[in-house]
A and B are shown apart, each in its own frame.
Chain A
């Protein structure tokens, strides 16, 4: 592409009054050598846009630098056709709204940002959407034929997509097929309902677009979004097909009651789990297992193993409702029969409270909070349940025919089914990046370098903790729905399924256009690896938060672009600096900050560089400007896709240029991370721990580089962060490399 630059400086919103526009224009025409360089009083107006378009036609400009407001605003106005490269320079929020007007330092800041923008535009190339060599499939694979899986299939099919539904059991229905009745899943309904899986199965059978495989198991999934090559084992034969995206609705299994011997499990056949209770109810009259006697008194033990840090630490959300329902089974069977419910807390959210009230109003259902001290069999095969810390203010004992343990749920992804033969030999290298624990649950069997299943967030749930974005997992194109994602009841699982199906559709459509999925939706750039210089160090394949890169047998990275989220973590990781995007590379970013004019030491105008995450830190900085919060004029901000994309070479480059200090401001990491690419800020922190070597080599103080975690709402902290770092720099003194 033959570039012809045009620089436009908007003088609206007070920019014209606060800055010397003539001098700014000189930066454009002089250093920038831009053939077109204009100021306009209101660039986002139709007149402004017309000016730009006119120059494109008349002068043939195709690389447009717009210096004015933040790139986060007026995006509609400044959208041009795809043959143009657009670079926006923020003179409003980040300069005149946060710095004093008509000030030498303010002017220098504006000029530096313009220089950075021009260099970036000069280096940027037009992105071309990624088109794989093979055909992209728009079929959706749904794994799991329970309520969530069936709903996802139906929703996707009605939206016009082919669906393959895979179920490991011989029939569809999942856990709901095991139920006798279901609790009401409609608002204000208080009656037990017939289980609705049969209707769903009929609906599925009536839809031609849905291909169902029961008694099937996934042997292997290779490829990525649009190109997933699935191998199924079905009736002893391998079936192969290609799908575009995957909805994982593999459900849950009840918590293993063998660990509940403290609640009498195993001591008597009459201590059962709530899932066995459903079976008993399904077989007609509820009879206890030991002698087939019809039950007259049943105790339900809530949170059996749940909400216990040593067993199952979380709440499974629907066990309270299940026990209320089963207590009603007992009462419906015999009006003289009674049910006790021992709970830690009754959790019947939302309108389910009405159902709880209904159960409470039944004179034969008795509730008490309490801790179960013991459950012991009596000689008559009965059981005595002793509870302490009850609402009676004392210990109580009841004698019952049967005890039902309301066990929680474990996502199928948390159950290890493939046991490794031999442990992998321990590497005694330098400490590597903390790796994700992947439980080999034998569900997806992904042919991925980082492991065959989804990395979990906590407790084996394959959630990704994407801020505000449910269904996303850590593997692009695979969306979790239902209880495999987190505990939920049937109604919620069905809603979830519809959501995940829509995410799968979005993924397929974006992938077909060669664009990125969440969170960089629509981004058409993608990582380009200059393989000749690759040293097979495996850092990119190790560190990619989404497992996008596979490896060949010689450890060469094999990118799967459709899996890529375009965060640039690989670019930050690569010591050979061979990974780049068309508009984002080591060179583009490095050159842009090298364009900053660093004053001589005796001018007493230090310079600090702030690499800031585009997702949260940059919006926070804009917000600080909107709120007119003021901070040091010596800071220069470099937006980055993610802190994970920061290559250590930038730090070395910046310091050798004479920049006094470097701040990295990104999202919070750790258990409750807010990083939009899951691990970026954590990786940046890890890499910085190694930057000391670089600093030592340059004989610089380690205080010169600092990483800060910031939430999007903490804009008010930014001036303090900048100013404090500036003070530190004053104490440390100027960078001795200035002027070299």
Chain B
């Protein structure tokens, strides 16, 4: 009996309220939200039960729930809530706390969530990049690399940033970030397992993975939103734009030692190179998608939190600074190109390195939750 006793966590409630769920306590449990939600499973539907658990500060149960991630925040529940309790916003705040909770190391999670740390967060990549510039010459000399090698790569190696240095620099930090997010998702997975103790899986892990990936790629969950139909488009643009850019980037970075890839790659690509077209289209998709998201948030007023804006604006900044660099490159305005390229690199760093702690992490947590939902039989078979 002892373990069944509920102990409300007042601090957790305050965190939800501070993190965008200030309407949380307005909920009076009518369950309009659960009825309205097109993604909620028929059995124990969300977000009604999440609302009362959040009101009661039941932190452990909420953070170990796949349901908070099954929500795609279309806003149907918030629109129809008779008391203005905004379940969508509350779930979003809980997801934010989940990212922070599972994030490793914890202090980085806390920094991302607070505006006062923003200058510091910007300073870190700037510092690293600055150091890289400073140590380039001694490093070159020590390693015996001739500058002329990189001179050939006109775009990346303005003399300031050697291509290889950047590649290894980003690869290293990306690996760290990836490691961190893996730790987070494993924590999340085991928390979900622990919560569902005693229930047997509904599907095999592989089948669940395939089904979840299908759901993610087709964006079928987004297509069921009724209040905000535009979100399907906006999220698809950003999602596929990012996939496209990632693909090109990985191709480029790994080209020199990946036997599968074409040798003698010339970088930067010709504008008509299929990879270049893909990268540009991806960039456009991200910028357009982000602008759509921003436009909608402004239109709806009071929607979104710092945490949310941080991610969108960083993504937009990456896109815009990337295009600016490209334009200055072709326009041969070298000074400006160097400056915006530096900015671009800072934002890319922020986007990738802070991934496990920013909203970007939803990519992983939601994927894991979707897999778990299939695995545990939490999702509706057909809807």
- The smallest beta-carbon distance between B10 and chain A, in angstroms, is 6
Any A CB within 8 A of the CB of B25: yes
Q: Which residues of A contact B44 (CB under 8 A)?
A: 393
Hey, which bits of chain B sit against chain A, CB under 8 A? 1, 4-8, 10, 13-14, 17, 25-29, 44, 48-49, 52-53, 55-57, 83
- The smallest beta-carbon distance between B55 and chain A, in angstroms, is 7
Which residue of the partner chain B has the closest CB to A357?
Answer: B26
Q: Is the interface of A mostly helix, strand, loop or mixed?
A: mixed
CB-contact partner of A361 in B7, B14, B26, B29, under 8 A: B26
Q: Contacts A391-B52, A392-B52, A392-B53 known; A366 to B8 CB distance under 8 Å?
A: yes
Q: List 12 A-B contacts (CB under 8 A).
A: A346-B28, A357-B83, A360-B25, A363-B14, A363-B57, A366-B8, A369-B29, A392-B49, A392-B53, A393-B44, A396-B6, A398-B6
| Residue tally, chain A, CB below 8 Å to B | 22
- Residue contact B25 to A362, C-beta cutoff 8 Å: yes
Q: Identify which of residues 388-403 in chain A touch chain B, using a CB-to-CB cut-off of 8 Å.
A: 391-393, 395-399
Q: Which residues of A contact B49 (CB under 8 A)?
A: 391-393
Known: A363-B14, A393-B49, A397-B5. 6 other contacts (CB 8 A): A363-B10, A364-B10, A366-B56, A369-B29, A384-B5, A391-B49
Any B CB within 8 A of the CB of A368: yes
Task: Give the one of B5, B7, B13, B14 with max A CB within 10 A.
Answer: B5
Q: Which residues of B contact A346 (CB under 8 A)?
A: 28
- The smallest beta-carbon distance between A471 and chain B, in angstroms, is 35
- The smallest beta-carbon distance between A432 and chain B, in angstroms, is 53
CA distance A399 to B14 in the complex (A): 21
CA distance A367 to B56 in the complex (A): 8
CA distance A562 to B78 in the complex (A): 64
Q: Which residues of B contact A363 (CB under 8 A)?
A: 10, 13-14, 17, 25, 57
Any B CB within 8 A of the CB of A301: no
Which residue of the partner chain B has the closest CB to A398?
Answer: B6
Closest 8 interchain pairs by CB? A361-B25, A363-B13, A397-B5, A391-B52, A397-B4, A360-B25, A366-B56, A391-B29
CA distance A360 to B29 in the complex (A): 12
Q: Which residues of B contact A369 (CB under 8 A)?
A: 29
- The smallest beta-carbon distance between B223 and chain A, in angstroms, is 29
- The smallest beta-carbon distance between A92 and chain B, in angstroms, is 53
- Residue contact B1 to A360, C-beta cutoff 8 Å: no
Q: Identify which of residues 368-393 in chain A touch chain B, using a CB-to-CB cut-off of 8 Å.
A: 368-369, 384, 391-393
CB-contact partner of B1 in A336, A366, A397, under 8 A: A397
CA distance A338 to B12 in the complex (A): 14
Q: Identify which of residues 349-365 in chain A touch chain B, using a CB-to-CB cut-off of 8 Å.
A: 357, 360-364
CB-contact partner of B55 in A336, A366, A393, A399, under 8 A: A366
- Residue contact A397 to B55, C-beta cutoff 8 Å: no
Q: Contacts A338-B10, A392-B49 known; A398 to B25 CB distance under 8 Å?
A: no
Q: Which residues of B contact A399 (CB under 8 A)?
A: 5, 7
- The smallest beta-carbon distance between A53 and chain B, in angstroms, is 65
Q: Which residues of A contact B28 (CB under 8 A)?
A: 346, 360
Q: Which residues of B contact A396 (CB under 8 A)?
A: 4, 6
- The smallest beta-carbon distance between A370 and chain B, in angstroms, is 11
CA distance A346 to B83 in the complex (A): 15
- The smallest beta-carbon distance between B34 and chain A, in angstroms, is 11
Q: Which residues of B contact A393 (CB under 8 A)?
A: 44, 49
- Residue contact B52 to A368, C-beta cutoff 8 Å: yes
CB-contact partner of A398 in B5, B26, B52, B83, under 8 A: B5
Task: Give the one of B29, B49, B53, B56 with max A CB within 10 A.
Answer: B56
Q: Which residues of A contact B5 (CB under 8 A)?
A: 384, 397-399
- The smallest beta-carbon distance between A3 and chain B, in angstroms, is 71
